């Protein structure tokens, strides 16, 4: 009789083990003008994700360039005065300013007035007159941004926007929070900026697709763990006027959309904000300059798709890159 | 004695059958054509495209509209009054890339994919 009692208990245990996959926890939200999906695993995931959502909403409130209560809005409308900001804002402005020189002046967080003139921030597009662009370019120069213990200062005619680094920085922050809360496995998708924590439960590395700029599929995928994967491409936001297509990645040296011969650039590395910044920078640099930049600085890998349909893959990620089966016609070149 | 034995065997059989049924549901689900339609982070519909009849429906956000079309087991945004029409240009949904309308906060995506995320 007692032996028989074990059977239903055993059956119940089997039933419970079937439900193991339910330890995946997912949160989706709209934040920073984009769609975000946060996935984490294990019994600590749910509470940690709740907190991460709060952090994202809080960072958006601080960094939004349009919200009149945000710290960045106050900095932009202080008439050249210094504005006291939170440590995370001060840190990110400082990072953005330093990236200007570090990226050979391709990433400039003070490009915002030009983006505004093109209408990219409000989805109301137009091609500005060259005169207007030239005039606005006078006040685009991130090295004039002041950051110290008393706050952030930008010149009266300058406006900054953290859009090119905010999602990467936010993913770094919430990734750190999740790790601290004891979560060992997570994949964070902040509007196509991907950050992975640890490895995928049960199957090793995370498989992250790289969007095909031309169609609605992917060109390939990378297998990673504990890495950020960020792609920049003109296709993300663009419009066509008089038969010519204009995209949103503006070259700070000209004020016009970058025409570097690249269609998309993916950067893989440890730091989300660095990948975020560099994906934009390498796109603006073009294949040749990007290669030399990678050789010189290191610490990251990249995958660049050229207009002629060639895929340049840096040697550090080549083994973990898979070309999509529908794109076998793409020529893959491993750069060393 | 025999009666209680029969009872326990029946209990085991029921639990086993439930487990089997659940496993089958899980296995068939991961190979299905399940699509989710999400607005502003909230799932509005979960649709099985293999069973949906051809039809159109409208999703509204702050007065703006996206017309979603289901035809021959496929789904797309047919019309939209957003300024950039990225969602319409994406065309029919593929297994890998979601259809996204940022201004209207609409996302249509397959519930299953072998990818953990897509960068871009």
* Range A246-275 average pLDDT: 97
In terms of pLDDT, which residue wins out, A23 or A245? A245
A16: pLDDT strictly greater than 90? no
Residue A175 is encoded by which pair of tokens? 């990734």
In chain A, pLDDT over 70 holds for what percent of residues?
93
Q: How confident is the model at residue A269 (pLDDT cuts 50, 70, 90)?
A: very high
**pLDDT tens digits for range A72-81:** 999 999 999 9
Pairing of strands A206-211, B117-119: parallel
Tell if the CB–CB gap between A14 and B19 is shorter than 8 Å: yes
ipTM metric: 0.87
Q: CATH second-level architecture of A61-153?
A: Orthogonal Bundle (1.10)
* Range A255-264 average pLDDT: 97
The answer to whether residue B11 neighbours chain A at the CB level (below 8 Å) is: yes
Nearest to A35 among B8, B11, B100 (CB): B100
A157: pLDDT strictly greater than 90? yes
What's the pLDDT score for residue A266? 98
User: From start to end of chain A, where are the E strands?
Assistant: 24-31, 34-41, 82-83, 146-148, 151-153, 186-190, 193-197, 206-211, 218-224, 228-233, 238-241, 244-247, 262-269, 300-306, 310-314, 321-323, 331-335
The answer to whether residue B53 neighbours chain A at the CB level (below 8 Å) is: no
Average predicted confidence (pLDDT) for chain A: 92
Taken in order A189, A306, A294, A166, is the CA torsion positive or negative? negative
How long a stretch of residues is chain B?
Answer: 120
What's the pLDDT score for residue A17? 47
**What is the distance in angstroms between the Cα of B65 and the nearest Cα belonging to chain A?**
16
- CATH number for the domain formed by residue range(s) A3-42+165-335: 3.10.520.10
Q: Which residue of B has its CA nearest to A1?
A: B5
State the Cα–Cα distance between residues A166 and A272, nearest whole angstrom.
9
What's the pLDDT score for residue A22? 43
What's the pLDDT score for residue A9? 57
Look at A35-39, A241-245, B45-49, B109-113 and tell me which has the smallest mean pLDDT: B109-113
Beta-bridge mates of residue A57: none
- List average pLDDT for each run of 10 residues in chain B, which is 120 residues long: 84 88 64 77 81 89 92 92 87 83 89 84
Cβ contacts of residue B10 below 8 Å, gap of 6+?
none
A8: pLDDT strictly greater than 90? no
CA distances from A6 to A240, A298, B108 (A): 70, 60, 47
A154: pLDDT strictly greater than 60? yes
Q: By C-alpha distance, which of A268, A266, A296 is closest to A283? A: A266
Question: What are the backbone dihedrals phi and psi of residue A213, each rounded to the nearest 5 degrees, phi first?
Answer: -65, -25
The enclosing H or E element of A279 equals helix A272-285
The answer to whether residue A4 neighbours chain B at the CB level (below 8 Å) is: yes
Nearest to A15 among B5, B15, B119 (CB): B15
Number of CB atoms found within 10 A of residue A184's CB? 15
Judge if A3-42+165-335 and A61-153 fold alike in CATH terms: no
State the Cα–Cα distance between residues A287 and A277, nearest whole angstrom.
16
In terms of pLDDT, which residue wins out, B11 or A159? A159
Look at A13-27, A127-141, A214-228, B61-75 and tell me which has the smallest mean pLDDT: A13-27
Tell if the CB–CB gap between A216 and B26 is shorter than 8 Å: no
Q: Which residue of A has its CA nearest to B3?
A: A1
What's the pLDDT score for residue B97? 78
Look at A41-50, A76-85, A171-180, B18-27 and tell me which has the smallest mean pLDDT: B18-27
The pTM of the full predicted model, rounded to 2 decimals, is 0.79
Look at A30-34, A252-256, A306-310 and tell me which has the smallest mean pLDDT: A30-34
State the Cα–Cα distance between residues A187 and B115, nearest whole angstrom.
11
Tell if the CB–CB gap between B116 and A206 is shorter than 8 Å: yes
**What is the distance in angstroms between the Cα of A97 and the nearest Cα belonging to chain B?**
24
* Range A282-296 average pLDDT: 98
Question: What are the backbone dihedrals phi and psi of residue A34, each rounded to the nearest 5 degrees, phi first?
Answer: -155, 170
What's the pLDDT score for residue A103? 97
Nearest to A200 among B9, B99, B116 (CB): B116
**pLDDT tens digits for range A194-208:** 999 999 998 899 999
Question: For chain A, which residues make up each domain, given as ranges?
Answer: 3-42+165-335, 61-153
User: Which chain B residues touch A11 with a CB distance below 8 Å?
Assistant: 12, 15-16, 19
Tell if the CB–CB gap between B120 and A29 is shorter than 8 Å: no
* Range A232-246 average pLDDT: 91
**What is the distance in angstroms between the Cα of B33 and the nearest Cα belonging to chain A?**
17
Tell if the CB–CB gap between B22 and A124 is shorter than 8 Å: no
């Amino acid at each position: 009789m007692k032996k028989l009692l074990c059977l239903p208990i055993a059956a119940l245990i089997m039933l419970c083990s079937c439900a193991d996959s339910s330890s995946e926890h997912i949160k989706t939200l709209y934040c920073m003008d984009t769609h975000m999906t946060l996935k984490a695993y294990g019994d600590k995931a749910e509470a940690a994700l709740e907190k991460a959502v709060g952090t994202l909403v809080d960072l958006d409130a601080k960094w939004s360039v349009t919200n009149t209560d945000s710290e960045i809005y106050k900095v932009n409308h202080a008439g050249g005065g210094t504005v006291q900001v939170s440590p995370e804002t001060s840190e990110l402005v400082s990072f953005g300013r330093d990236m200007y020189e570090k990226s050979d002046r391709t990433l400039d967080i003070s490009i915002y007035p030009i983006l505004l003139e093109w209408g990219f921030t409000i989805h109301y597009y137009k091609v500005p007159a060259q005169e207007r662009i030239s005039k606005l370019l006078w006040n685009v120069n991130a090295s004039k941004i002041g950051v110290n213990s008393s706050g952030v200062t930008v010149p009266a005619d300058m406006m900054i926007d953290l859009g090119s680094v905010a999602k990467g920085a936010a993913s770094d922050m919430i990734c750190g929070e999740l790790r601290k809360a004891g979560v060992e496995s997570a994949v964070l998708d902040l509007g196509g900026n991907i950050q992975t924590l640890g490895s995928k439960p049960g199957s090793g590395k995370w498989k992250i697709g790289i969007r095909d700029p031309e169609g609605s599929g992917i060109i390939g995928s990378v297998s990673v763990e504990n890495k950020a994967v960020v792609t920049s491409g003109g296709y993300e936001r663009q419009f066509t006027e008089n038969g010519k297509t204009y995209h949103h990645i503006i070259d700070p040296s000209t004020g016009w959309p970058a025409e570097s011969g690249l269609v998309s650039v993916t950067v893989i590395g440890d730091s989300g904000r660095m990948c975020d910044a560099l994906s934009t920078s390498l796109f603006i640099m073009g294949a040749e300059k990007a290669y030399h930049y990678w050789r010189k600085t290191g610490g990251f890998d990249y995958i660049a798709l050229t207009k002629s349909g060639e895929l340049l893959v840096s040697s550090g990620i080549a083994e973990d890159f898979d070309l999509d089966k529908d794109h076998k016609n793409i020529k893959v070149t491993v750069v060393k | 004695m025999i009666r209680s034995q029969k009872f326990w065997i029946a209990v085991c059989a029921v639990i086993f059958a439930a487990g089997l049924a659940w496993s089958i549901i899980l296995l068939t689900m991961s190979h299905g054509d399940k699509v989710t339609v999400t607005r502003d982070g909230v799932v509005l519909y979960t649709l099985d495209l293999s069973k949906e009849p051809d039809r159109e429906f409208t999703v509204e956000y702050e007065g703006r509209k996206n017309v979603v079309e289901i035809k021959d087991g496929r789904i797309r945004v047919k019309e939209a009054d957003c300024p950039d029409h990225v969602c319409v240009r994406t065309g029919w949904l593929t297994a890998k890339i979601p259809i996204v309308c940022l201004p209207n906060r609409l996302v249509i995506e397959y519930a299953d994919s072998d990818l953990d995320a897509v960068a871009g």
